[in-house]
Amino acid sequence: MTLRDKAARFVENQTITNVILGVILFNAGLMGLETSDSVMAEVGGLVHFLDAVCLAIFIAELGLKLFAYGGRFFASGWNVFDMVVVGIALAPATGGLSVLRALRVMRVLRVISISAPLRRVVEGFVRSLPGMASVFLLMGIIFYIAAVMATQLYGETVPERFGTLAGAALTLFQVMTLEGWADAVLRPVMEIHPTAWLFFIPFILVTTFAIVNLLVGLVVNSMQEAAEAEKEVAESKFEAEVLKRLAVIEARLAK
């Protein structure tokens, strides 16, 4: 076994993964402490020192992965994501780049790349984006049609809610979220237009229940596909490792 293989087995070890996860969470707590003036006045030096230690651990981990995987390191989007997040902390946080200091908290996002369940959630969401774009387009068409109808039906009598196309769209968005839609929107409109429920109830059924559930279904289906893809990759790695060990055993027996 080469030195790179040993390094790869080391960084892929579950214990090491758990240690890195603990360091990420600990570092997140430190960055929370930095927002407290009283805490920083008392133990600010210790907090900065521990933050530097955490950063050194992250850099060492990335360096070890680079050595272990070589060019394959950049084939994984998660590895590139980790490098960017850690690299932000190394950028000078002075002058025009002072905003980068606030972006250091993005190191907490490394929890996603470390935790397999969280990776599946994000990968599922990304896989669902093409389908979600179509659903959002459909929702946009429905919103536009409903906003035009609401403006024409209730614009003159309820101008504060439906006087303009933009105002009507905003009101309909509130209705879709079910946030005070009955008391703040439907009942005041029904005092003037008793049959207004014939417009609002079907709108809620189509947007809140049908369209939103369709979005949820797309994300769940994509998460399942991401989980299956990850399982196939793991099985392929295991098969390659078994074949490699068998080849070593055969070579020893041949001697």
Q: What is the pTM of this model?
A: 0.59
Please calculate the CA angle 186-187-189 and round it to the nearest 5 degrees: 70
CA distance 37 to 24: 23
Domains and CATH numbers, the chain: 3-114 (1.20.120.350), 120-243 (1.10.287.70)
Confidence class for position 195, pLDDT limits 50, 70, 90: very high
Give per-residue burial for 172-189: e unless 16+ CB within 10 Å, then b: beebbeeeebeeebbebb
Instruction: Give me the percent of the chain exceeding a pLDDT of 90.
Output: 18
Query: In the predicted model, what is the mean pLDDT of residues 9-23?
Result: 87
CA distance 253 to 255: 5
Does the structure show a pLDDT above 60 at 163?
A: yes
* pLDDT single digits (tens) 215-235: 777 777 777 776 777 777 777
pLDDT, residue 53, reads: 92
Query: In the predicted model, what is the mean pLDDT of residues 171-198?
Result: 89
pLDDT, residue 144, reads: 94
| Cβ–Cβ under 8 Å, residues 186 and 198 | no
pLDDT, residue 149, reads: 94
Residues 6+ apart with CB under 8 A from 171: 150, 161, 162, 185
| Cβ–Cβ under 8 Å, residues 26 and 54 | yes
